[in-house]
Chains A and B, each alone.
Chain A
Amino acid sequence: MDKRIKLHHGDGGKYMSKLIHELFYKYFDNSILLSNNDSAVFETIGESLAFTTDSYIIKPLFFPGGDIGKLAVCGTANDLAVAGAKPLYLSVGFIIEEGFLYEELERIVQSMSQACKEIGIKVITGDTKVVEKGSMDGIFINTSGIGLIENDYSSKKVAPGDHIIMTGGIAEHGAIIALKRHGIKAREKFISDCGFIYNITEKLVPFYNGIKLMKDPTRGGIATALNEIAERVQLGIHVLEHKIPLRKDVSALCRLLGIDPLYLACEGRAILVVEPSQSEKIIKCIRSCENGRDASIIGNFTCKEDNSVTLETPIGGERLLYPLDTPMLPRIC
């Protein structure tokens, strides 16, 4: 019979301890975690730290290019990376539905462990809860992350004319989720962009004086992220649609489903705001990374008082780029 997660795996007793030792300690193996204290104790060297948290509730749990575990590590690490920080430590909270397959949990934990090793981030504390069958759907994961600030751009002022760089193809994660949710079988191989940004931001250290802001366009896609940036810096943004990296198959899939790729999530990309004089050098540096080879300057800041984001279309027309306001649903015809 399939081994399944039971309520006693979260009751604080010996079964929980067994689960922690056999699964979590095995895969997240590091001395801080294994010291088995109520709190993780660690030393820092820098003066400024970045701290973030995110909960991962996704369907399907496994998708081409990743799974909820990889997403939970990359997502939080990326939030740290775009804050100009080197991701150091993670906490992980699992909320698991009674009856969840042990084998699937192991797959998720294994994938998290692999992702952590990739950029040297450590899971140093965690928590497990098991809830009654039917009161949730499968597994939810929360990760909080601490990073060491390497580029504090909080005091840098974004100015009209500053360039906006997109590090890679948009909508690749959102498209695969839409594809799975609508049960469409596609011949093309769609793969999520779920992955780290830190390998890129780490390489950009020599250019940090020219980087004024970074953001990862997750839920709501680049349209929503650009609107948030415009609002935050109180400037307008002008984007050139044909410069936005978008894979042809992803574009075709979006047209088929009647959804706009500009609103679909990326899970391994970043938007960078850079000094125009340095943008070419920065682009070259990003392109030298495997996950940055499609990087492109997609637009610039304008003086528009209403902080609107406008999009120049490939035919030379123009329209507003609005933030996501209602849930995206496929159109009728």
Chain B
Amino acid sequence: MDESKIIRRIMNDMKVFNVGELNFMEVCGTHTYAVSHSGIRKMIPSNITLLSGPGCPVCVTDESQIDAALEMINKHDVILVTFGDMVRVKGTNESLLDQMDKRENIIVTCSPLESLEIARKELDKEVVFFAVGFETTAPLIALAVKGAYENKLNNLSFLICLKLMPPILEKILAVKQKKVDGIICPGHVAAVKGATYFSFISKKYGIPAVISGFEALDIALGLYYLTKQHTSKDPAQFRNLYKLCVNERGNKFSEQLIKEVFDIETSKWRGIGMIEDSALRLADKYSYFDALKRFNIKINKSLVPQKCECKDVLLGNILPHQCNLFRVVCNPEEPKGPCMVSGEGACSIYYRYGGDD
């Protein structure tokens, strides 16, 4: 039987379960993208609503951190290296892309390790890697930091904006009046941290959760499992369905790298505010490579008033098209908020692939 037939059968079987209206959250931006891109969004039974979660790294990167990156290129003339999506999101006033029109010192890369090469070539310049992401990208950033340390690349530093998944999920699930009936956990994060990293969802909050891969069939199976749990006496089961990549304890090498290079700190999430122990910062041993310290830049801790409802999209309070600005004045060409900017942002995914009709 081919994949499309299996998926269609899974979707039909889901319709048979007598479970009423259910809200499932896919936490990871890549899942939101895969759900739309594969076309599975159109195949899901109508009693199931998929909420998007906070798992788009650039969407949750605070304005103040983008402002800090801009200050580094404007005042300190650094070469700033970062991931593609990051250049489009605005800080308080402007984005890195706005500066790219005027300057040549912003480089888009696929790999943090490229910053080492750039620093080696540009010895008379300061090079800063603007590191955003979750537990997934953290090991690679750690490897780059270690590389800078071991090779004494003293002209390289890092603006670390790495965030952690469990604290934001706890914040979402702790809101009693919100109805989240199941979670599709971020598969990539689980590959690094291990399946048990997310088992608290079922234990503490009494809802089913799955770790799922990113192919259409993986997602279909995840949704089937979450739905089926609601027919059982104890729906609060946790299941790893992504065994091809995720084991119980995670990737030891990556875990060790994260532990060695980073400490945990309290951090501000864009539009959402401070969340305790929700981010990574460089450990003391590597603090020489902290770009904020090197250029003596203070991060503004107060919350910037938001022009749109991206925050509520990220927290699963509303779907993208339920924001009043969606499609009316907010689109990928003139985005009002980060969720419309990033390729992993729920609003841009809904705008481009549909789902609001």
Chain A residues within 8 Å of B, Cβ to Cβ: 182, 257-258, 310-320, 322, 325-326, 329-333
Contacts and interface: CB of A to CB of B under 8 A. Distances in A.
17 contacts: A182-B110, A312-B39, A313-B37, A315-B4, A315-B217, A316-B4, A316-B7, A317-B42, A319-B41, A320-B352, A322-B352, A325-B331, A325-B332, A326-B332, A330-B110, A332-B58, A332-B85
Contact of A330 (B37, B108, B132, B136): B108
Contacts of B134: 333
Interface residues of B, number: 40
Interface of B: 3-4, 7-8, 30, 36-43, 57-58, 83-88, 108, 110, 132-134, 136-137, 188, 216-217, 331-333, 343-344, 351-354
A224 to B, nearest CB: 12
B3 A333 contact: no
Listed residue (A182, A311, A315) with the most chain B CB atoms within 10 angstroms of its CB? A315
Contacts of B83: 330-332
A319 B42 CA distance: 8
A332 B216 contact: no
B57 A333 contact: yes
A325 B86 CA distance: 17
A145 to B, nearest CB: 32
A319 B357 CA distance: 11
Given A330-B83, A332-B85, A317 B38 contact: yes
Nearest to B36: A319
B332 A319 contact: no
Contacts of A314: 3-4
Nearest to B216: A315
Contacts of B331: 325
Contacts of B333: 325-326
Contacts of A326: 88, 332-333
A316 B84 contact: no
Given A325-B333, A331-B85, 9 more contacts: A310-B354, A315-B40, A316-B4, A316-B43, A319-B39, A322-B351, A322-B353, A332-B137, A333-B134
Contacts of B343: 258, 329, 331
Contacts of A329: 84-85, 87-88, 108, 343
Nearest to B353: A319
A331 B344 contact: yes
A332 B3 contact: no
A332 B332 contact: no
